[in-house]
């Protein structure tokens, strides 16, 4: 560990992370005139090598930086996975980790231990994933920042958990214990007839405090459990949430799920990460009730 890295980690601990995030969030939401919008978007696009050609662009210019950052994709920008049984990546980004969850509900990310219960905010929900699988997709500033369903099924409720806003980067992962578990999180459980309950946890970070969820009319999902009046039926690939300035998606799969098949590294929305064995072997053992 270099002196610079250690110093950066100590600085992160004392910075007013929540306050900084709120200020930047207000600036990102502020309306900006078209000439300034084009300048800001152009500079950001060049700095991070963003492919705006695959995005839906309004006539003229984006009316705020947030509108640019949360831009939608044009139809057909991400081809659909041909295997109907596959579990797919919920977003563009980098597949950072994946593997087994122990029978006790713990797993490792880059050598650091994590508890499924802490990340999910529920001992009951974590019990479903004892002996199961997980994978993590990190979204960089250049990526498309909407999150989609890795499987089809129904969503009955969403759990929003308050937390800190440490940056999710190499420094944060190395120096902040249980980083994903202590940051602000939103858990979206999807009950799939084929795969059991698959939960996508959207993890916030510094400058990424705001998370919206499709079907919940709040600009930032408030803490607590949000129950839909009727279960929301979704197809694989449907949008389920949006990061307002990026972060990380952690996906939990029940016991019996197939092993990770996609190599670590770059991944695109809709790319198969897990696929069922022939004739349904390896189906989840948990129920979806």
> Which helix (DSSP H) or strand (DSSP E) does residue 4 occupy?
helix 3-14
Q: Phi and psi for 172 in degrees, rounded to 5?
A: -65, -45
Answer yes or no: are the C-beta atoms of 273 and 135 closer than 8 Å.
Answer: yes
Catalytic one of 66, 89, 91, 92:
92
How many residues does this entry show for the chain?
289
Catalytic one of 89, 96, 148, 195:
148
Q: If 0-12 CB within 10 Å is exposed, 13-18 middle and 19+ buried, where does residue 259 land?
A: exposed
Q: What is the spatial distance between Cα 28 and Cα 30, in angstroms, rounded to a whole number?
A: 6
Tokens of 67: 């509108």
- The dihedral through the CA atoms of 234, 236, 264, 102 has a sign that is positive
Catalytic one of 247, 257, 274, 288:
247
145 is catalytic: no
247 is catalytic: yes
| Bridge partners, 241 (sequence order) | 147, 213
E strands present in the chain: 87-88, 93-100, 106-109, 112-115, 133-138, 146-148, 153-161, 185-192, 196-203, 210-213, 224-234, 239-244, 248-253, 265-267, 272-274
- The dihedral through the CA atoms of 257, 196, 214, 149 has a sign that is positive
For the annotated catalytic residues, the residue numbers are 92, 148, 247
């Amino acid at each position: 560990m270099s002196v610079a890295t250690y110093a950066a980690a100590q600085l992160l601990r004392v910075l007013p992370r929540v306050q900084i995030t709120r200020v930047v969030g207000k600036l990102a939401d502020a309306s900006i005139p078209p000439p300034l919008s084009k300048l800001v978007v152009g500079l950001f696009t060049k700095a991070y090598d963003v492919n705006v050609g695959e995005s839906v662009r309004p006539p003229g210019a984006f009316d705020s930086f947030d509108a640019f950052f949360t831009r939608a994709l044009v139809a057909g920008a991400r081809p659909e996975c041909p295997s109907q049984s596959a579990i797919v990546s919920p977003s563009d980004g980098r597949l950072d980790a994946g593997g087994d969850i122990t029978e006790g509900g713990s797993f490792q990310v880059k050598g650091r231990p994590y508890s499924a219960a802490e990340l999910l905010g529920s001992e009951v929900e974590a019990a479903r994933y004892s002996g199961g699988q997980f994978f993590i997709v990190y979204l960089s500033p250049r990526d498309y920042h909407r999150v989609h369903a890795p499987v089809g099924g129904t969503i009955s409720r969403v759990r929003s958990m308050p937390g800190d806003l440490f940056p999710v980067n190499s420094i944060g992962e190395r120096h902040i214990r249980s980083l994903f578990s202590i940051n602000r999180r939103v858990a979206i459980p999807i009950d799939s007839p084929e795969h059991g309950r698959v939960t996508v946890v959207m993890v916030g970070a510094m400058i990424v405090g705001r998370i919206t969820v499709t079907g919940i009319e709040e600009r930032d999902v408030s803490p607590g459990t949000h129950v839909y009046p009727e279960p929301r039926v979704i197809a694989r690939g449907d949008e389920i949430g949006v990061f307002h300035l990026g972060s990380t998606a952690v996906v939990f799969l029940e016991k019996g799920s197939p092993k990770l098949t996609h190599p670590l590294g770059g991944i695109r929305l809709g790319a198969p990460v897990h696929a069922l064995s022939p004739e349904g072997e390896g189906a989840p053992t948990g129920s979806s009730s």
